[in-house]
Amino acid sequence: MAEIKAGDEINTGWWPESVRVVENTDQNNITSTAFTAGSPECSTTFVAPLSGRVAVIVGAEMRNEDTGNNRVFVTFEIRLGSVAGAVVQAAVNARGVSTTGDAQASQFMTHGNMSMVETLTPRATYFIRAMHHVDAGTLNDIGHRRICVVPLP
Amino acid sequence: MAVLPAGSNVYGADFPPSQFDQDWTTILNITTTTYVAGTPEVAVSMTAPSSGKVLVCMGCGIRNNAATTERAIVTYQIFEDSLNGAVFSAPLDDRGVKSCGIAVSQEYQYHGNMDLITGLTPGRSYYFQVVHLSLAGAGTVDIASRNIMVIPVP
Mean pLDDT of B113-131: 96
CA distances from B54 to A24, A41, B66, B137 (A): 22, 25, 37, 32
Provide the sign of the torsion angle of the four alpha carbons A16, A18, A24, A26, taken in this order: positive
Asked if B136 has any chain A CB less than 8 Å from its own CB, the reply is no
Interface test with B, best of A56, A110, A115, A152 (most B CBs within 10 A): A110
Asked if A9 has any chain B CB less than 8 Å from its own CB, the reply is no
Residue B12 to residue A12, Cβ atoms within 8 A: yes
Residue B5 belongs to a domain? no
Residue B3 belongs to a domain? no
| Contacting residues of A for B112, CB less than 8 Å apart | 111-114
Q: Is the pLDDT of residue A2 over 80?
A: no
Residue B153 to residue A112, Cβ atoms within 8 A: no
Per-residue model confidence (pLDDT) at position A102: 86
Per-residue model confidence (pLDDT) at position A117: 95
Counting one residue from A and one from B, how many pairs have CB atoms under 8 Å apart? 122
Among the ranges given (A7-11, A103-107, A133-137, B56-60), the one the predictor scored with the smallest mean pLDDT = A7-11
Model confidence band, residue A12 (pLDDT cutoffs 50, 70, 90):
low
The separation between CA B105 and the C-alpha centre of its own chain, rounded to angstroms, equals 26
Per-residue model confidence (pLDDT) at position A29: 96
- Report the chain B residue with the minimal C-alpha distance to residue A69: B102
Q: Exposed, middle or buried, A52 (CB in 10 Å: 0-12/13-18/19+)? A: middle
To the nearest whole Å, the CA of B93 is away from the closest chain A CA by: 7
Mean pLDDT of A45-66: 95
Q: Where on the phi/psi map is residue B100: left (φ > 0), alpha (ψ -120 to 50), or beta?
A: alpha
Residue B114 to residue A102, Cβ atoms within 8 A: no
Q: Is the pLDDT of residue A1 over 60?
A: no
Residue B1 belongs to a domain? no
B128 touches A145 (CB < 8 A): no
Per-residue model confidence (pLDDT) at position B9: 66
- Report the chain B residue with the minimal C-alpha distance to residue A24: B94
Nearest of B57, B51, B49 to residue B15 by alpha carbon: B49
Provide the sign of the torsion angle of the four alpha carbons B142, B76, B71, A149, taken in this order: negative
Question: In whole angstroms, what is the distance from residue A148 CA to residue B30 CA?
Answer: 32
Nearest of A84, A81, A148 to residue A120 by alpha carbon: A81
Looking at chain A, the whole-number percentage of residues with pLDDT higher than 90 is: 82
Question: In whole angstroms, what is the distance from residue A88 CA to residue A94 CA?
Answer: 16
Residue B114 to residue A59, Cβ atoms within 8 A: yes
CATH code of the domain made up of A36-152:
2.60.120
- Report the chain B residue with the minimal C-alpha distance to residue A23: B94
Q: Is the pLDDT of residue A21 over 90?
A: yes
Residue B115 to residue A59, Cβ atoms within 8 A: yes
A64 touches A72 (CB < 8 A): yes
Which residue from A12, A24, A111 is facing B112, i.e. has the nearest CB? Answer: A111
Asked if A6 has any chain B CB less than 8 Å from its own CB, the reply is no
Q: Is the pLDDT of residue A30 over 90?
A: yes
Per-residue model confidence (pLDDT) at position B12: 58
Question: In whole angstroms, what is the distance from residue B35 CA to residue B134 CA?
Answer: 8
Q: Is the pLDDT of residue B58 over 60?
A: yes
Mean pLDDT of B134-148: 97
Q: Exposed, middle or buried, B17 (CB in 10 Å: 0-12/13-18/19+)? A: exposed
Residue A150 to residue B154, Cβ atoms within 8 A: yes
Model confidence band, residue A33 (pLDDT cutoffs 50, 70, 90):
very high
Instruction: Name the residue range of residue B64's domain.
Output: 19-153
Q: Is the pLDDT of residue B15 over 90?
A: no
* Span A133-150, pLDDT tens digits: 999 999 999 999 999 999
Our CA angle for B30, A139, A65, nearest 5°, is: 25
Q: Is the pLDDT of residue B142 over 70?
A: yes
Phi/psi for A120 (5° steps) reads -75, 155
Model confidence band, residue A113 (pLDDT cutoffs 50, 70, 90):
very high
Number of helices (H) and strands (E) in chain B: give both, helices first.
0, 10
Residue B8 belongs to a domain? no
Provide the sign of the torsion angle of the four alpha carbons A131, A137, A138, A139, taken in this order: negative
To the nearest whole Å, the CA of A78 is away from the closest chain B CA by: 19
Provide the β-strand partners of residue A98. A73
Per-residue model confidence (pLDDT) at position A13: 61
CATH assignment of the domain containing B55: 2.60.120
Residue B85 belongs to a domain? yes
As for how many domains chain B has, the answer is 1
Tell me the domain boundaries of chain A: 36-152
- Report the chain A residue with the minimal C-alpha distance to residue B151: A150
- One-letter identity of residue B73: I
* Span B32-41, pLDDT tens digits: 999 999 999 9
